[in-house]
Amino acid sequence: MGDISGYHFQIVAALIFSIGALGVLLRRNMIVMFMSIELMLNAANLSLVAFSREIGNDQGQILAFMVMVVAAVEVAVGLAIIISLVRNRDTVNIEDTSQLKW
Amino acid sequence: MTEHENAALRWIPLLPLIAAALSGAWLVFARRELPRAAVIALACGAPIASFAVAVVQVVSLATQLPEDARFYVDNLYTWISAGDFHAELAFLLDPLAAEMVLVITGVSSLIHIYSVGYMDADHREDRGFQRFFVYLNLFTFSMLMLVLGDNLLVMFVGWEGVGVCSYLLIGFWYLDDANAAAGMKAFVVNRIGDFGFLLGIFLLFWSFASAGVPTVEFREMAANIGLLANSSVEMPAWLSFLPGYPSAPLLTIACLCLFVGACGKSAQIPLYVWLPDAMAGPTPVSALIHAATMVTAGVYMVARMSFAFSLAPGAQATVVWTGALTALFAATIAVAQTDIKKVLAYSTVSQLGYMFLAAGVAAYSAAIFHEMTHAFFKALLFLGAGSVILGMHHEQDITKMGGLRRRMPVTWLTFLVGVIAIAGVPPFSGFFSKDEILLAAYQAHSIPGHYALWLVGLVTAFLTAFYMFRLYFLVFTGTSRASHHTQEQIHESGNWVLVPLVVLALFSAIGGFFGLPDAYGELFGVQRSNSLHHFLQPVVHSAEHTIDHATEFGLAALTTAVGFAGIALATLLYYWRKDLVPGIVSAAGPLYRLVRDKYRIDELYDLVIVRPLAAVSRGLLARGIDQGLIDGIGVNGTANFVRATADGALKYLQTGLAQSYILAMVLGGVLLVAWLVRGT
């Protein structure tokens, strides 16, 4: 286990971020897309904390807390939008919400 | 210097301004009129108080100071200070300004009083009793700024101020489109003149500055005018046909520019066309602005700048010939007019021509003398005409008047005094002033064709006597030609109207003795009886009489005889043998119609200037540049381009699919990161 280094943390973070990004791009269910966004945010968190430990600078960890707060706020707003969408249009499929076009 | 400083001067123009400001502010903010008594007290009190201050100061000027250094200065504050250049907001009272200030405040006071009676009798819906007096006070202020200004800039402020007030008062009854149009015409024509005046000011200032004396102050300019006597300016290539090309004497050019301004303000050829139309204003306005004061501003300016004009023979010749031709030209038009105010308007243009004739032959004191007597008798004639118009219930056509003598005795008598004065019957005021002018023209050997000038003046004197007595006989004698309904209502005007008439009649009768030529004074053992001339001499340097007394009296007798000939002809045609007139008119035929239509000059201007200008403005400037270039390409073109690009191409990026936006975002992020890590 002593082989785990900063490098590995970053690989994992990159993998999780990519999974999240692909999820946002490929899935149609808004709840799932939302969860994918959370994955990307947490991947970024992981990357920040790992770098922070490696460089020996606490700023990255502070920033991770910041991201968590933002994520929580974002969930509150985002879920509220999704709920009102379901109430009005009875769907969570993102392709059904394409009125804002030419 | 201290004995010349006098802080009382500022009150002469300030009092009318304060009255106008108080009265005007009340109208604007309270949205109703002050009590009638308050309006009258403010409006008439201000010019009367100004007059009182002016009298005290002029008396002090004449008695306290030595003859060769008679001037008072009042520096309010430094208005402009830029580098070496300083312009003070300052007033100057010297003999020339003193004469003007007394005439302006005096006549203005009388006309303010008259206006109370005149505007009372007016029952239009837009009568605006208080508004009228606000404008009138404002005018008095501007006019006093004009004559009291210590430098060209203060003078110009007053010059523009009287123009604005003239515009406001000509279009006073603005509900009638014709009145508003007349006001605009006066303003636009005056702007043409003002443009020349401004160019003259700039040219003079620029030349004085290059000579090392950056100033526009009258006394400084007069002291240093010698620096510019031999200067010249380069003419542009398109003027190569002129004599002296490629250089022109600077002072001649500058004075010609100033004279363009004087032509506009004082209604000389070719810019006289606004004055007859200005009769659309209330009659007291015609008397004050368009006869007694504002229109003489051009003459005053030429006299004020006499130090420059006397070094510019080309400009002087232009002034004198313009004046002479205007005098004759306008007098002929006046012969055939049938509107009582139009006759007087053309007569004013003609008399202003006389003044320029005098100013051009360097007889500045004669010009100012005639300005003064003209202010008396022409204000009297206009006010008398106003009284007639009131009595006739706003009828202005003299062919529908007649026989007013018995119905309006005071108006009749005072009007007759005015007519006699302008016709040049001795010893009324017009005789002496007109005679001075003709004499000055006769002896002006330095001006080419001065005998012709004298002859033109003489013919004009004949015409003046003729058309004024024609007017008098048609209005006051014979039987009334008005409708029965109007005839029953003819009445003499009230005392507000009659008292100013009587005072002005008195001055029209005796005003000539202010400037009684020395030759006459010596008959009665009075030396230097031409007090006005001697009073003005230190400032304006008029030509002295060089001919002997016998010739002077001979010329005066000739002028008088010519005047009486005009009177006799008018008496014959319009009193004894009225049956002759239709025959003469039909015999003259086309000539009569041409004169009656004022030589169709307005139509000519319309054809040559107004229509082409309107066509270019409408076709090229409005349609081409404004609507085509600025609106079409600049404003609407930009908008259309944006809309076309968006509508044709850019809008398809807006798919409505959230995931396509996210894809773009991700790709953008990837590109951004790639850019940031490039080369590592």
Consecutive sets of 10 residues in chain B, 680 residues long: mean pLDDT of each? 83 94 92 88 94 94 87 91 87 93 95 90 71 94 95 94 94 88 93 94 91 89 88 79 77 93 92 92 92 93 93 90 94 92 95 94 92 95 93 86 88 95 91 91 84 93 95 90 83 89 94 85 80 86 82 90 94 88 85 88 91 92 91 92 90 84 91 90
Contacts of B666 in chain A (CB under 8 A): 21, 25
The Cα–Cα gap between B262 and B152 comes to 13
Residue of A nearest to B658 (CA): A94
Q: Quick count: other Cβ atoms within 10 Å of Cβ B635?
A: 11
Tell me the nearest-neighbour CA distance from B635 into chain A, angstroms.
Answer: 25
Which site among B653, B662, B663, B673 would you substitute to test the A interface, given the most A Cβ atoms closer than 10 Å to its Cβ? B662
CB contact under 8 A, A21 and B658: no
Of A25, A95, A100, the CB nearest to B666: A25
Residues 6+ apart with CB under 8 A from B625: none
Q: Quick count: other Cβ atoms within 10 Å of Cβ B414?
A: 26
Helix residue ranges, H only, B361-449 = 364-391, 404-407, 409-423, 429-442
CA distances from B436 to A17, B530, B533 (A): 109, 11, 11
> What pLDDT, on the 0 to 100 scale, is given for residue B658?
83
Which site among A24, A28, A93 would you substitute to test the B interface, given the most B Cβ atoms closer than 10 Å to its Cβ? A24
Name the phi and psi angles at B221, rounded to 5: -65, -45
CB contact under 8 A, B657 and A100: no
Contacts of A99 in chain B (CB under 8 A): 656
Number of CB pairs, chain A paired with chain B, less than 8 A apart = 27
Of A21, A25, A101, the CB nearest to B655: A101
b/e per residue, B148-183, with b = 16+ CB within 10 A?
bbbbbbbbbbbbbbbbebbbbbbbbbeeeeebbebb
Contacts of B657 in chain A (CB under 8 A): 94-95, 98, 101
Contacts of A101 in chain B (CB under 8 A): 654-657
The span from the first CA to the last CA of chain A, in angstroms, equals: 56
CA angle B161/B167/B169 to nearest 5° reads: 100
CB contact under 8 A, B655 and A21: no
Contacts of B656 in chain A (CB under 8 A): 97-101
Three-state DSSP at A85 gives helix
CB B568 within 8 A of CB B473: no
CB B144 within 8 A of CB B100: no
CB B202 within 8 A of CB B233: no
CB contact under 8 A, A97 and B658: yes
Tell me the nearest-neighbour CA distance from B657 into chain A, angstroms.
Answer: 5
Contacts of A94 in chain B (CB under 8 A): 657-659
Structure tokens given for B547: 């001919």
Its pTM surpasses 0.90: no
CB contact under 8 A, B657 and A94: yes
Q: Residue B78: enclosing H or E segment and its boundaries?
A: strand B72-82
CB contact under 8 A, A101 and B654: yes
Grade residue A102 by pLDDT with cuts at 50, 70 and 90: low
Contacts of B655 in chain A (CB under 8 A): 98, 101
- Max distance between CA atoms of chain A, in angstroms, equals 57
Q: Which residues pair with B151 in a beta bridge?
A: B217
- Give one DSSP letter per residue of B301-332, joined into a string: HHHHTHHHHTT-HHHHHHHHHHHHHHHHHHHH
The Cα–Cα gap between B300 and B297 comes to 5
Q: Quick count: other Cβ atoms within 10 Å of Cβ A28?
A: 13
CB contact under 8 A, A99 and B656: yes
CB contact under 8 A, A98 and B657: yes
- Give one DSSP letter per residue of B443-505, joined into a string: T-TTSTTHHHHHHHHHHHHHHHHHHHHHHHHHHHSS---S-HHHHHH-----HHHHHHHHHHH
> What pLDDT, on the 0 to 100 scale, is given for residue A2?
64
Which site among A25, A92, A97 would you substitute to test the B interface, given the most B Cβ atoms closer than 10 Å to its Cβ? A25
The Cα–Cα gap between B116 and B340 comes to 22
> What pLDDT, on the 0 to 100 scale, is given for residue B305?
93
Of A25, A100, A102, the CB nearest to B659: A25
Contacts of B651 in chain A (CB under 8 A): 102
Of A21, A24, A101, the CB nearest to B656: A101
- Amino acid letter for position B23: S
For A6-63, how does the pLDDT look when each residue is reduced to its tens digit (9 = 90+)? 889 999 999 999 999 999 999 989 999 999 999 999 999 999 999 999 898 999 999 9
CB contact under 8 A, A100 and B652: no
Of the candidates B236, B64, B39, the residue with the CA atom closest to the CA atom of residue B129: B39
Q: Quick count: other Cβ atoms within 10 Å of Cβ B124?
A: 11
Residue of A nearest to B648 (CA): A102
Of A21, A95, A102, the CB nearest to B657: A95
CB contact under 8 A, A25 and B656: no
DSSP A90: S
> What pLDDT, on the 0 to 100 scale, is given for residue B611?
93
Contacts of A25 in chain B (CB under 8 A): 659, 662-663, 666
CB B421 within 8 A of CB B429: yes
Contacts of A98 in chain B (CB under 8 A): 655-657
Contacts of A102 in chain B (CB under 8 A): 651-652, 654
CB contact under 8 A, B654 and A102: yes
Which site among B647, B650, B653, B659 would you substitute to test the A interface, given the most A Cβ atoms closer than 10 Å to its Cβ? B659
> What pLDDT, on the 0 to 100 scale, is given for residue B124?
63
The Cα–Cα gap between A51 and A35 comes to 24
Q: Which residues of chain B are at the A interface, by a Cβ-Cβ cutoff of 8 Å?
A: 651-652, 654-659, 662-663, 666
Q: Residue B567: enclosing H or E segment and its boundaries?
A: helix B549-571
Contacts of B659 in chain A (CB under 8 A): 24-25, 28, 94
Residue A3 has pLDDT above 60, yes or no: yes
